[in-house]
A = this chain, B = another copy of it.
Amino acid sequence: MTTKNAFYAQSGGVTAVINASACGLIETARQHGDKIGKVYAGRNGIIGALTEDLIDTSLESDEDIAALRYTPSGAFGSCRYKLKSFEENRAEYERLIAVFKAHNIGYFFYNGGGDSQDTTHKLSQLSQSLGHDLRCIGIPKTVDNDLPLTDNCPGFGSVAKYVAVSIREAGFDVASMARTSTKVFVLEVMGRHAGWIAAAGGLAAEREGESPHIILFPEITFDQEKFLAKVESTVKKHGFCCIVVSEGVRNPDGTFLAEAGTRDAFGHAQLGGVAPVVADMIKTAHGYKYHWAVADYLQRAARHIASKTDVDQAYAMGKAAVELALDGKTAVMPTIVRTSNNPYQWEIGVGELKDVANIEQMLPPHYISEDGFGITAECEEYLRPLIMGEDSPPYVNGLPQYVRLKNLPVEKILNEPFDL
C-alpha cells in the first residue's frame, strides 16, 4: 500500500476531551508512517477542507501532541457548518474530493456528532463514485450523549462529572445558608433535546435529602403546579431545595421555558436562561430567597475536572479510527461497547455510519423516576462509570497548563477560492 496523507477535522460544539481523540489519532498515525504520511487538520473543521486551509500537524512536536490529551476545546478550530445534501450542493462534496486528491489524502477522519457522521457517510459514497480511494471514518463526539450505536459518547462523561460535582458543592453551600437566607438554588445545564446531562446531576445525591432534590428533564413536559408543590415540600422537609434544570425543558404548549416572555425595557425578547425563569417562578409562588447559576460553556470546557473514563475513551476512539482505516474499513465509526457494569468494563466496537446519521438517543423513560423529578437506580448504574476517575492536567502558576499548537498551514496546491 502506498503512503497517503490523512485529513482530520473537529466539528460542532467542542468538549473537554475532543482533543484527546485528536491526540489518540495523531499519535497512532505517527506510529504508522509507512502507511499514513502526514495528518492534515482542517482549520476550523470542514471549512478548512473546503477552503484548502489545512494545518500540517507533522510540524507539531510529540510533546505538544501529547499535551492535547489534557487540553480542552478544539485545537485546530471547529465549526458549525452542515454540508447540504448531494442534490442541494454537490459542489461542496466534489470540492472536498478535489482538495483531498490534490493533497494525496486517502484517509478522512471526522470528529463530531450526528451531522458529522452523516457527512462522513455521504463523502464515502461520493468518493467511491468519483473513483477516489478515501477511507472515511467517523469519530464520535458530543456532550449531549445522544448518538446511537455507541454506549456513550466521548465528551459526555466529563460534563456529567462537572455537573454532579457542581450541584453537590452548591448543595453544601445552600444547606449552610438556608436558615436565614438562600433556600433555593437552580443550576441550568446543557441538553436542548436529551436530558443526559441533567440526569448526571442526580449522581451527586447519595442519601435522602441531598442535592439535587429536583431535576427537570427536556423529556418531561413541565408541570408548574406539580413542580412548585415539590419545591415547597422539599424546603419544608429538608430546609432547602437544589434544582438541576435542562435548558431544553418545555411547557405543555411546546415552547421552551426559557422563552418565558421576559422582555427588556425596549421590548426585546428575553436574554435567555431557564434558570432565572424557574427561580423567579418559585419566588413568586413561595417567597423563598434563591440563587441561580448558568454553567454554559464552563461545563463542557472544564478539563480540570474531566472524567478519566471519558479521557481514556476519547483517546481510544481516535486511536481506533486510525486502526479501522488501516484495516481497510470505510463509512464506519468506532464505538464504545459496555461489557460489564460492575466492575465497569468496555471495549471498542464498530458502527456503520449509515445507521448513525441523524438519530438522537433520548433518555429512556425507565431512567427517569416515577414522579419525573429524578433518576432511577438503573440510570445511576449506567451513568456512574462514565464519571469515574480523575485525570488532572498539569498546573503551572496555579492554573492548568493547556497547549496551544503552532497550527502552521500546508501550502495550497489548488489555490482556488471557494465560496462557503
Contacts and interface: CB of A to CB of B under 8 A. Distances in A.
Interface residues of A, number: 82
A384 B395 CA distance: 13
A237 interface: no
A387 interface: yes
Contacts of A324: none
A14 B171 CA distance: 12
A292 B302 contact: no
A271 B264 contact: no
A418 to B, nearest CB: 15
A54 interface: no
Contacts of A265: 260-263
Contacts of A260: 264-265
Given A294-B293, A395-B390, A173 B300 contact: yes
- Those 10 A-B pairs whose CB atoms lie nearest each other, nearest first: A261-B265, A271-B276, A73-B172, A74-B176, A387-B398, A293-B296, A169-B301, A44-B179, A173-B301, A79-B180
Given A72-B172, A261-B264, 5 more contacts: A73-B176, A80-B177, A80-B181, A170-B301, A384-B397
Interface of A: 10, 13-14, 44-45, 47, 71-75, 77-81, 161, 164-166, 168-170, 172-177, 179-182, 185, 187, 203-204, 206, 260-265, 268, 270-273, 275-277, 279-280, 284, 291-298, 300-305, 307, 384, 387-390, 392, 395, 397-400, 402
